[in-house]
Amino acid sequence: MNEMIYSGVELMFTGMLVVYLFLALLVVAIKSMAAIVARYFPQLSPDFITTQKETDPQIIAAISAAIQQYRNKSPK
């Protein structure tokens, strides 16, 4: 009976060790990928980023009509 408990505890610690090693490897991989991306693809300055222009009133009306139609059809 003691041998089965010892085997179960050993299996538990082995599994926990594998999970922690995998998570540590995943953290290292993500941090290194972030460093590589930051090095070769720096963020663009705000001058290059275009802002969205005003939304077309017809699009707003179509979205509003669709929402109104959905609310009228849906059960309450």
61, part of any domain: no
Question: For residue 43, is it within any domain?
Answer: yes
Range of 37's domain? 1-48
pLDDT at residue 1, as a whole number: 80
Is 64 domain-assigned?
A: no
User: Is residue 6, in this structure, part of any structural domain at all?
Assistant: yes
* Residue 55 forms part of a structural domain: no
- Residue 65 within a domain: no
pLDDT of residue 65: 94
The separation between CA 60 and the C-alpha centre of its own chain, rounded to angstroms, equals 30
Answer yes or no: is 63 within a domain: no
pLDDT string in tens for the chain (76-residue length): 889 999 999 999 999 999 999 999 999 999 999 999 888 887 765 655 556 667 788 999 999 999 999 999 867 6
DSSP secondary-structure letter at 38? H
pLDDT of 55 reads 77
The domain tally of the chain equals 1
